[in-house]
Amino acid sequence: MQGNFSLHHDVFSRLGIDSIPIKVQSDLDLIDGLVIPGGESTTMSLLINTFRLREPIINFGKDHPVMGTCAGLILMAKEVQDKRVQSFGFLDISVERNAYGRQIKSSTEKVLYHFGLNKKVELKTTLIRAPKISNVGEGIHILGEFDGSPVAVLSGHYLGLSFHPELNNIDIFHQVLFDPNCEYYYKNLKQTYAA
Ligand code: GLN
């Protein structure tokens, strides 16, 4: 409904995975997984309520993979310091909006990510008025950190990123959550984390 969704469609098309925009409740019946993109979390929160998508998305998320980037991560958090955002609570984390500074302080950093035990990869990490993950609860696996805070967290079938992988043509996070043929698919990683 809002935000940077179109580049996520490009990632899916590179991966050979069909994707559609989600605007009304019945759209959720057509998909196997959801991306909540970057954008403006207060606006998204309002639109989600206006279009009566809150309960349907919470129910969808119970048994389908959901990935949130930036504003999407804010919407997935259990605790958001800004009460204008009504989040879904999928990830047991606390987030502070805009905690890396203003738009002009947006930056692209290099961060080392861990996908299970076997794969470490340094990736461009573009933070745009990004949320900071200030606290993580149990069952949250940190895939990467920048400046002392997690920027990528995985918990079961939920993946939250403070940054925008789609801006740097990074596909691996979408593969982790949505590509069962990928070695780093979350169900395969789960065994690694459990071990
Ligand atoms: N600052 C935005 C928010 O709080 C997030 C920015 C983004 O998604 N790039 O919702």
**pLDDT higher at 118 or 142:** 142
**What is the C-alpha to C-alpha distance for residues 148 and 15, in angstroms, rounded to an integer?**
32
**Of 143, 155, 133, whose CA–CA distance to 61 is shortest?**
155
CATH class of this structure's domain 6-192: alpha beta
User: Of 113-122, 137-146, 185-194, where does the model show the most confidence?
Assistant: 137-146
pLDDT at 140 over 50: yes
Could you tell which of 36, 100, 129, 132 is best to mutate to test the pocket of ligand 1, judged by most ligand atoms within 8 Å of the CB?
Answer: 129
Q: What is the pLDDT of residue 29?
A: 98
pLDDT at 124 over 60: yes
Q: What is the pLDDT of residue 191?
A: 65
Beta pairing partners, 110: 124
Tell me the HSE value of 76 on the side-chain side, using a 13 A CA sphere. 35
**What is the C-alpha to C-alpha distance for residues 62 and 145, in angstroms, rounded to an integer?**
27
pLDDT band for position 103 (50/70/90)?
Answer: confident
pLDDT at 113 over 50: yes
Is the shortest distance between the CB of 153 and ligand 1 below 6 Å?
no
pLDDT tens column, 176-192? 999 999 999 999 886 67
Cα-to-centroid distance, 174 and ligand 1 (Å) = 19
Is the shortest distance between the CB of 71 and ligand 1 below 6 Å?
yes
pLDDT at 160 over 80: yes
Which sequence positions are flagged as catalytic?
Answer: 70, 164, 166
Domain ranges of the chain: 6-192
Residue 12 token pair: 């899916």
